[in-house]
Each structure stands twice: as structure tokens, then as C-alpha cells.
Chains A and B, each alone.
Chain A
Amino acid sequence: MTDSEYRSLAEKSPLKAQRALFDEYYRYVYAIVFGRLRNNASREDIEECVSDAFSEIYRCCGNSSGHDGELRGIVGTIADRTAIKAYHRLSSRIRPDSSIDDGSADNIAAPDDVESETDRSLMRQKLLDCIAELGEPDASIILLRYYYGRSSGETAAELGLTPAAVRKRCSRAAEKLRKRLSDEGITI
């Protein structure tokens, strides 16, 4: 959706425009927010942050003064900024923090550590390639279970499967993924 498409829809019905925007970008915004907050926020906090991001997105897109072109860039930036602020609010800090009590220190990159960040970025893409090779629904099962932390029942509800099918497919897919990652020399 482009900004002008959004605005022309909003002229007819702001609610429809907001709904269309939400439907188009919900998954992207959720993935951004979840990635930022997964180590230090509850599911409810993450959902609240997603709704905060969208209320800001509606506000920005509703201002005719701004942007043109595809909205994805703006949406992503607002989502990321909202999530970072939520992280700071929840952690009471604006700079990298770590605690004896959690593993968040492992994900903190030094600001000038470009080489390490590039390596990590390549690793992420490779990991996703390996997950994608599992095919669907196994790839989504793996992500819902091990990245988003959903139970077998919740995963089953998301994908229209039975919990038993999720568990069986999950264990086979996980084994396949471990072997694939090992072949690629990736340790996680």
C-alpha cells in the first residue's frame, strides 16, 4: 500500500483505511516488536506495544504533510522505534543493559562492532534459509514453537492442525533442522 492509496481510502472511510493498513502490516510490525522485546516482555506487553505502534502509524499516515511512496519503510521504522522505547521503558535504561538474571547480554552488540553484526546478520539469513527448506507447515511450526514460544495447542490453532500433529511434525522437523544446521556448520 502506498501513502497516496492510504490517503484516498481514508478520505472515504478512515476506519477502512486503518483496517487495511493493519491487515497489510500486522505481521511485519508484530515480528519487529517481538524481535526487540522477546527477552524482556510478556506476551501482553508485546501486544500492547504492537497496538501502540499501529496507533502511531495511523497518526503518521493520516498526516498529509509527509511521505509518499510505499509505507513499509515508515511502518517498519515506527514499529522499531516504538519497540525500542518499550524496551527502554521496561528496562528503565536507554543504553545496552545486562543483568545477572537474564540472557539479554548475549544479544547486545557493541555499537562499532560492524563485522560481528554482519556475521550475525548472515547467520540469521542462513538460519531462515534452513528453516524454509523444511517446507510448510513444518517451518511455521518450528518458528511458532521455538521462536514465538507458542504451545503445541496454540500452534495447532494458528495453523489449523491438531496438537498431536503439531507435536509429531515438530519433533521430526526439529531433528531435520538440527542436522541441516550441523551440515552448514551453524551452532545455535
Chain B
Amino acid sequence: MKKNDIDLSILGTDKETAGRLADGFAVPEEGKEKIFRQSLKKYRQGADTAAAGDSVQGVERYRRPVWGRIAAAAAVVALAAAGTGTGLLMLKGRSLPPAMSELPGGEEVTEVPEETEAPATEAPTEAPTEAPTEAPTEYLRELEILSDTMRTITDEDHIQIIYAGTEDYRQNGPARLDREKYIAKFRAAADTEALNTPELKSYIYDIMLNSLHYFDTISGHHIFISAGNNIETDFGFDQVNHYSWEEEKDEDRGFSWAVYNYDGTHYDVNNQSMAYETFVSSEESIGFNLGTNDWMMLNTAGENVSSIQPDSSTLGITSNTGFAPQLPQSHLHDLSAWQILSVTEVNGMECAEIEGDWWKGHYKLYVDLHHGFLMKYDNSDGDHYELTDLRIDEPVEKKTFDPTGYSGTDIFGNPVQ
């Protein structure tokens, strides 16, 4: 937000205020006609589907081909410009090339060769079991120096970049940087000038973005304190066998939640209200082998776009767990705004100590040099995060959810049996 802006965000979130806004003041109407047309189309599609006796449209949304799922969500994740807003990555609707414009209804992508669907069920089960150790089969790629200007591309080009990255991952497994080479340079750096080269900074940025590539299984504990929330989380994540869980509690506020993903099903559980939501999730890991500069680009409207985050989200690992790509994009994409201060140990991991500035103020963080995990973070807004008790590539318990005593709904709010 700019210095002279007025923060009216408090106005959101209740219907009474929305009613007053609607009745008493202008509401944006530039998209009104398009919205009306879309609403009619969706209503008619829903009516046609119901008439055909297909009552699982919602499930179909999650079962469409892997490529279709990426493209139908428009395959881009918006990141607000650093000067104005949040770094939280969300799916962003985009105008797609005409051949893909029908996808949100669950239809097939006609322009993609059919054989692209088959690898979605085959390749991912093989590559992760070969890649993760530091044996000679490790698939290495060159580190790109992060550019200080973002390039502008069309939406179609962006989708093609993601598609190429997905295909590369399917065929070759996760691409990694040569960690030994770069960590040796960190250790050998005689002073902060030697630490703060574009190369070493780009290494930090890149390994954080791609930290999912550097382990098969992980479990641990993290704490996140922000704006009155004091959340402690235990988590476990097995990328090879496609299950994960997170159990969170905020004792100060009396919250307790959990997420479980296994056997292709996702459960989002609220232990206060004894309610859960469930939907079909992916049984396949979708990885992306992307270049450093492919993660943030501008579209032709001049807005930041980024690639969809890897499948950790559908496997239930939160944006706060130390290997999600949001933070490097929001904090580290501008190499001139942060400095590496030292190499030090944090909670058993060899880390780069980093200090910098972003839209919320000043921050200090510690990044594990071997996997790109965010080990610790503090900012001038009082936010604190810390990752502890890490176990990497050790067996992770497969926790399941017992719905006894809980009321369950699907994502449309319909009760589940």
C-alpha cells in the first residue's frame, strides 16, 4: 500500500456492510455483462449435467487430466506487486486461448496430444524414487542468475513454459542444483562481499523455490506467530507414497485443526466444531522443473504472474511450512533488497543468515543451504516462524482420519456419508 493510501480493508467480511456498500455507493460494474453471461453459461451447464443424470460434477473437476487441471485453472498464480499487497499465491483466472476456454466445465483439452495424459499416471511413480539421493543419478541443472527485471510474456507462452517444466519433471525427475559446489562457495566466502554475489543470492532464491526437489519425506514441527495467532504444527509428508498430514493448534485461541491426505482423498478437519471437509485430491505428484527466472514474469497487462506451486498444496502442506515457494517470491525476488550476513547453524541445519526489506517492513530469516527450507523468520511486524525437529528422508507415519463424531461436507457444502 502506498504511503498516502487509506486502508479500508476492515469493510470486508460481513453481509450487513456489503449491503450498505451495495445500496449506498458505487460498486465496480465494468465486468458486469461478462459476469452475467458467465452466470447463464454455468447455470445452463449445471442444468444440462443434472438432466444427464451426472451428479458428480464436483468430483469431475478433480479428476480431469493433469494437463487439463493445470490449464483450466489458467495455470498461473498471481502474486501481487511487492509494493502493494500480499505475496500469497492464488490461482488466477486468465483469458485462455479459445481452444482451452471451455475447461472450467471439466471438458478435455483438445489441443494437447492425448499421450500427455498417460505420463500423468506413469512417470511420477518412478522418477521420485531415483532422484532424491546424492548418487550419480541426480538430475542436475545450471543455476540461472536472477534477473533484476522481469520479462513480459503472453499467457500462452507462460502455459507452454509450465507444460515444458512439467514434462521435464515427468521424464527426468526433479532437477536440482549442484549443492556441493555452491555450499563450498558459501563456506569459503571470506567476507560479506564474497557472500553477496548474484550467484550465491540466486542459489538461495532458487533452492527455496524448489525445495520440494530435495527430499522424499519430511516430518517436523513448526511454530508461527502472527497478529494474535500462535500456531504450533506437527507435520509429515511423503512425496513418494503421496500422503501427508498436518496437525495444528493455537492454544491461546482454542483452535485445533488438521489436514490429512492419503489414498487420493483430502480431509480438512476442524476439531473445535467437529466438522470436516473432504474432496478428491491428486494421487500423483506434479513437479515442475523451471528455470530461476521462470517463476516470476510479467504478463502482457504488466501484472506479476508466477507458476503454479508444486503439488504440496493439494497434499495439504500449508503455505507456512518451510518449503513452500511463496516466501522467496515475496521476499527475495529483488536481490538488491536483501543481504546474506553469515553462514550459521539453526536447529541442526547449515543456514544462510539473511536480512532484508519487503512491503511489511524489515525481516531476518535463515535458509537451510542443503534443501532450501525456511528454518527461522522474524519481521518488524512481529511475525515469527521457526522449523524444528526435522527428519528428512526417514519413514513418515501415514496418519489417517477417523470421522466418527464429526460432520462432513464436500466442497459444495453437501453432507457426506
A residues engaging B (CB < 8 A)? 15, 18-19, 22, 26-28, 30-32, 34-36, 38-45, 47-48, 50-55, 58-59, 72, 76, 80-81, 85, 88-108, 110-112, 120-121, 123-125, 127-128, 131-132, 137, 139-140, 142-144, 146-148, 150, 154, 157-159, 174, 177-178, 188
Contact = CB atoms under 8 A, between A and B. Distances in A.
Contacts of B18: 28, 31-32, 34-35, 76
Interface in B31-60: 31-32, 34-36, 38-40, 42-43, 46-47
A-side binding surface: helix, strand, loop or mixed?
Answer: helix
Given A92-B314, A121-B16, A111 B272 contact: yes
Q: Which interface residue of A72, A95, A106, A159 has the most chain B CB atoms within 10 A? A: A95
B16 to A, nearest CB: 7
The 4 A-B pairs with the shortest beta carbon distances in the complex, nearest first, are A102-B86, A35-B12, A101-B87, A44-B93
6 contacts: A51-B39, A102-B88, A124-B14, A147-B11, A154-B28, A158-B28
B98 interface: no
A26 B32 contact: yes
A146 B26 contact: no
A115 to B, nearest CB: 14
B42 A51 contact: yes
Contact of A28 (B22, B39, B259, B268): B22
Interface residues of B, number: 85
Interface stretch (B185-193, B223-231, B339-347): B223-231
Contacts of A157: 30
A15 B189 CA distance: 71
A48 B88 contact: no
Contacts of A22: 36, 39
Given A89-B411, A128-B24, A177-B6, A104 B42 contact: no
Nearest to A41: B90
Contacts of A76: 15, 18-19
A165 to B, nearest CB: 15
Contacts of B38: 47-48, 51
A36 B15 CA distance: 10
Contacts of A101: 86-89, 319, 326-327, 330
B417 interface: no
Contact of B326 (A80, A99, A128, A137): A99
